[in-house]
Structure 1
Amino acid sequence: MSLPSDRPNEPVGPGRRRRCRRSLTASAVGTALVLSGCGDSSDAGHDAVRLGFVNGAHTDFHTCLQGAVELAAENEGVKLFTANSQQEASKELANIGKMTSWKVDALIVQPVDIGALPADISRARSADTPVFLTSVVPEDTSDILGAVVVDLEEAGRLDAGWIGRDANGKRSEIGVVAGAPGAASDLLVAGFAAALPGNAEIVASRPGMFDPAVARDAAAAMIREHPGLDYAFVANEEMAFAVREAFDAAGAKGVRIVTVNGTDKGLAAIRAGKLSATVTNSPLVNGTMAVRNVLALLAGKEADRIDSVPLVLVTKNNLDQAPQYCP
């Protein structure tokens, strides 16, 4: 479901995607979302609403997030236009400009870089188009319609907490394979580093750019320079699988890896002992909440402007508690 980013795609709506979906319940930490049936504009009453979704990249997370937004829009009977910024802030700004020219009623944006948001929001506001954010939010929320926020710093803290408990006071060396500089990765790493106990030291940190090939090379260099590495924190599971391969090839199978996402492959890797822990960040929950909250806010109905996606630290001991990741 990855889509090109040079122009907004044709609308995804009731006329294009009429296949039924199985019932779904996604719940965690006291938050429940129920998604079922087929989109029906006559029942949903949103057939006149036009939403834009500007995605930030083509990782598994972004692809599943787009699928969730598309599914929720279909079920609510609204028209959806999509574009992808491919991790480039300039493309994000251009996509927002193009979306506003399509006269959407609101824009859902998965940001590339939180530092670029002021320009993005200003571009949309100049066209009287409300902006709703997914995953992250600026400190000043007065200029946005709302957001569904993933507490990325808390996700990092949860992984750091697992390392602290696992190390149990023993001095440990840690490597960090970050994502691309900007919004998500910076927040994840900051939360992780701040929550590490005094006996755990980050001895190496390299960007993996959310690209498994780059992450593999970063991990291979890291283990050569620090053969005594005990743990690695990796900014998403796609990169974590590549990091595991690099460590294993170097004979460092004992390095324990903690990461973020909660995909089916990630949970299987935990079950197999290849990964030690992951923090769930369900794009299915994120995208579903975003569409529903946008529609409620546009209609003046009760909804949290700044809502939170629940996080779960998953290990071998609680695999059954992970929410569904992808539609």
Structure 2
Amino acid sequence: MKASFLATAALAALAVAGLAQAASATTIGVTMDKFDDNFLTSVRNAITDETKAKGISIQVEDANDDTGKQISQIQNFIAQKVDAIIVNPVDTSATPKMTQLAVAAKIPLVYVNRKPEDKQLPPGVAFVGSDEKVSGTLEAEELVKCLGGKGNIVIMEGQLSNNAALDRTADVEAVVAKNPGIKVVEKQTAEWDRNKAIDLMNNWITTGDKINGVAANNDEMAVGAILALKQAGQDPKSMCIGGIDATADGLAEVQNGNLYVTVFQNAKGQGKGAVDTALSLIKGDKVPSFVDVPFEKVTKENYKNYMNK
């Protein structure tokens, strides 16, 4: 009896070791648009945490906002014969080429956070992210409330090569179109960047029309607008300012009363979802082409619920 028990225990231990070895043998290549973006850093950290928890090897590369470099990174992953590739695209118009490369190599591909522009994703390819048509709408509806239905607003756009920037701006404009008392007086890209947003807002303050509100495509640019107003000796609280992402800095500005609204985009949910989807594709499971991680509106009333998210 004792010998039988020991044999069974030994077999179990071998099975566990085998599973652990199989997990560690799985490698995922990850290429991110850029490392120095607060929100994308949260996505990347979530990917790293999830793969570490599952005992999976990853190789994470910074594309430095360079599409050519990102395509080269994908080609390197393919040459290394990784088991799956996760891509946060620099330029969403370049995703058909990326999809073609992965499909030809028969390697599962997961786009995360930024929706690919492929007309249709083939089997073995999926997108994990949030429906951008919701984000700008939630932001703009709150700004309309803040403005009382009248006033001039400016729109700070992300990179125009990115579908998220285009969708978020279109959403804001659609809401404004339903509110004739509100007018978009300026619209320009600050490329998701805080410092560029500071420069852009400074320019609008000194040369533009009277501004009552700012609809920024992300929190980084909204924070840039707030800093520019402070530098100009203006109180950000006197203006209706909105952002998207609910980053730590964005939430701090909501707490301070400088940011009227932001929209929670679940970075951890996207990062974890990208890893889980990649593993499902590796196993050959059927997965939807779009794995939705919903947006949520964040204001002074509920921001505390998001401080640890």
Kindly provide the amino acid, as one letter, of the partner of residue 190 in structure 2: G
Kindly provide the amino acid, as one letter, of the partner of residue 272 in structure 1: N
* Cα distance, 1:115 vs structure 2: 0.7
CA distance in 2, matches of 1:44, 1:74: 14
Kindly provide the amino acid, as one letter, of the partner of residue 103 in structure 1: K
Q: Which residue of 2 aligns with 1:223?
A: 205
CA contact (8 A) 2:99 2:125 kept: no
CA contact (8 A) 2:158 2:189 kept: yes
Match of 1:267 among 251, 254, 264: 251
Q: Which residue of 2 aligns with 1:318?
A: 302
* Cα distance, 1:129 vs structure 2: 1.9
- The verdict on how the C-alpha distance between 1:237 and 1:252 changes in structure 2, with shifts beyond 3 A counting, is same
- The verdict on how the C-alpha distance between 1:41 and 1:188 changes in structure 2, with shifts beyond 3 A counting, is farther
- The verdict on how the C-alpha distance between 1:47 and 1:189 changes in structure 2, with shifts beyond 3 A counting, is same
Q: Deviations over 1:116-175 (max 9, x none)?
A: 111111122232222111121334122552121221231111101111222233x21111
CA contact (8 A) 1:42 1:77 kept: no
Q: Which residue of 2 aligns with 1:295?
A: 279
Kindly provide the amino acid, as one letter, of the partner of residue 250 in structure 2: G
Match of 2:196 among 214, 230, 237: 214
* Cα distance, 1:260 vs structure 2: 0.9
CA distance in 1, matches of 2:308, 2:275: 18
Q: Deviations over 1:190-230 (max 9, x none)?
A: 22222223322211112112222211110101122335211
CA distance in 2, matches of 1:144, 1:42: 24
Name the SS of the counterpart of 1:146 in structure 2. strand
- The verdict on how the C-alpha distance between 1:73 and 1:44 changes in structure 2, with shifts beyond 3 A counting, is farther
The normalised TM-score by structure 2 is 0.85
Point out the structure with max Rg over C-alpha. Answer: 2
Match of 2:270 among 286, 300, 306: 286
* Cα distance, 1:95 vs structure 2: 1.2
Structure 1 unaligned spans of 5+? 1-39
| Equivalent residues in 2 for 1:90-129, closer than 5 Å | 90-129=68-107
Q: Deviations over 1:27-67 (max 9, x none)?
A: xxxxxxxxxxxxx9956952221111110123011111111
CA contact (8 A) 1:312 1:322 kept: no
CA distance in 2, matches of 1:177, 1:106: 35
More strand by share: 1
Structure 2 unaligned spans of 5+? 1-16
* Cα distance, 1:324 vs structure 2: 4.2
CA distance in 2, matches of 1:323, 1:182: 31
Name the SS of the counterpart of 2:185 in structure 1. strand
Kindly provide the amino acid, as one letter, of the partner of residue 49 in structure 1: T
More helix by share: 2
Q: Which residue of 1 aligns with 2:220?
A: 238
Q: Which residue of 1 aligns with 2:110?
A: 132
Is 1:186 the counterpart of 2:166 in the alignment?
yes
CA distance in 1, matches of 2:123, 2:216: 33
CA contact (8 A) 1:177 1:232 kept: yes
- The verdict on how the C-alpha distance between 1:96 and 1:323 changes in structure 2, with shifts beyond 3 A counting, is farther
* Cα distance, 1:314 vs structure 2: 0.3
CA contact (8 A) 1:266 1:278 kept: yes
Q: Which residue of 2 aligns with 1:159?
A: 139
Q: Which residue of 1 aligns with 2:30?
A: 53
Q: Which residue of 2 aligns with 1:204?
A: 186
CA distance in 1, matches of 2:248, 2:240: 19
CA distance in 1, matches of 2:66, 2:41: 16
CA distance in 2, matches of 1:284, 1:234: 22
Q: Which residue of 2 aligns with 1:20?
A: none
The normalised TM-score by structure 1 is 0.81
- The verdict on how the C-alpha distance between 1:292 and 1:307 changes in structure 2, with shifts beyond 3 A counting, is same
Kindly provide the amino acid, as one letter, of the partner of residue 166 in structure 2: D
Moved more, 150-159 or 295-304: 295-304
Aligned length: 285
CA distance in 1, matches of 2:270, 2:246: 13
CA contact (8 A) 2:190 2:196 kept: yes
